[in-house]
Structure 1
């Protein structure tokens, strides 16, 4: 109903109205829209994957085997976030684990034969998704560079540090 009213111009988008104060919520809303639409695409095509799994597939294709910590560091994701993704992928038969020879506490992850077989099926969807993203960003040719600059600034000093400095 809300979207219908927005499309008819009958309701203001409050997050846009809030400008900078609404930024994190707008980014979350955008992320959720892309995430849920991608999930819906995969489900409609009978693919048993989730939107962010391609990152793990790609990492393990490139590196053959990695630990959770190595993946988290490479992606700059939290350790628990990577664990969550990997558990689901393992449950679906895409990830194999074995103990690290030098440290038995570590698990080394690799793609299973099922994963290698299915990548050929998934790859056209990932490539089409990349093209769709390019199309969406066509009117914002510097978006990726600007996003990188924002990420760099937050790596230098996070939001909490910057806010406390302003107080």
Structure 2
């Protein structure tokens, strides 16, 4: 697969000179993030779902009863912002907060049956989205390399 230039990736209708940014990794990462989020939003538009909401639901499938603060930290979301996310998912009936059995001050999160059903509906859409991302990267063979390199930036 031939490598695209920055100008091919970013349509330049204003005729700006991008040559100073051609090899800027941070800029390319940001543009890649925007492209992936745009595709996600288009794929999930009929479901009215944001990437963060999906991440919470997906994480809770294998972490029933996780502390609200643990989930926020695991996803890199500030606690104040996370409360609004949980409120929205709870109002839709997809998750519920419960007081921890060991520490009544702590809120634990659980998927509801409606949340589990909703997530099942979302999984084929997510699989298609993931395949689109992999196709942009050159296929499944590149996934491990890309994930390994990206992990270095935040681990």
TM-score band, normalised by the shorter chain? 0.7 to 0.9
1:11 aligned to which of 15, 23, 45: 15
| CA shift for structure 1 position 126 | 1.0
| CA shift for structure 1 position 105 | 2.1
Q: Decide whether aligned partners of structure 1 residues 143 and 87 sit closer, same or farther in structure 2, where only a CA change above 3 A counts.
A: same
- Partners of 1:92 and 1:112 in 2: CA distance: 10
| CA shift for structure 1 position 11 | 2.1
Question: More deviation in 139-148 or 103-112?
Answer: 139-148
Please name the residue that 2:151 is paired with: 148
Higher relative contact order (CA 8 A, sep 6+): 2
| CA shift for structure 1 position 90 | 1.7
| CA shift for structure 1 position 54 | 2.5
- Partners of 2:12 and 2:28 in 1: CA distance: 20
- Which segments of 5 or more consecutive residues in structure 2 lack a partner in the other structure? 1-6
Q: Pairwise CA RMSD of aligned residues? A: 3.0
Equivalent pair of 1:98/1:108 in contact (CA under 8 Å)? yes
> Could you give the per-residue CA deviations for residues 1-47 of structure 1, whole angstroms, max 9, x where no partner exists?
xx9xx647872464x62357x6545433432332233223322xx21
Q: Decide whether aligned partners of structure 1 residues 8 and 149 sit closer, same or farther in structure 2, where only a CA change above 3 A counts.
A: closer
Please name the residue that 1:85 is paired with: 85
- Which segments of 5 or more consecutive residues in structure 1 lack a partner in the other structure? 153-167
| CA shift for structure 1 position 118 | 1.4
Number of residue pairs matched?
A: 145
Q: Decide whether aligned partners of structure 1 residues 103 and 63 sit closer, same or farther in structure 2, where only a CA change above 3 A counts.
A: same
Give runs of aligned pairs for residues 64-75 of structure 1, distance below 5 A: 64-75=64-75
| CA shift for structure 1 position 101 | 2.4
Give runs of aligned pairs for residues 1-167 of structure 1, distance below 5 A: 7=11, 11-12=15-16, 14=18, 17-18=20-21, 23-43=25-45, 46-138=46-138, 141=142, 142-152=145-155
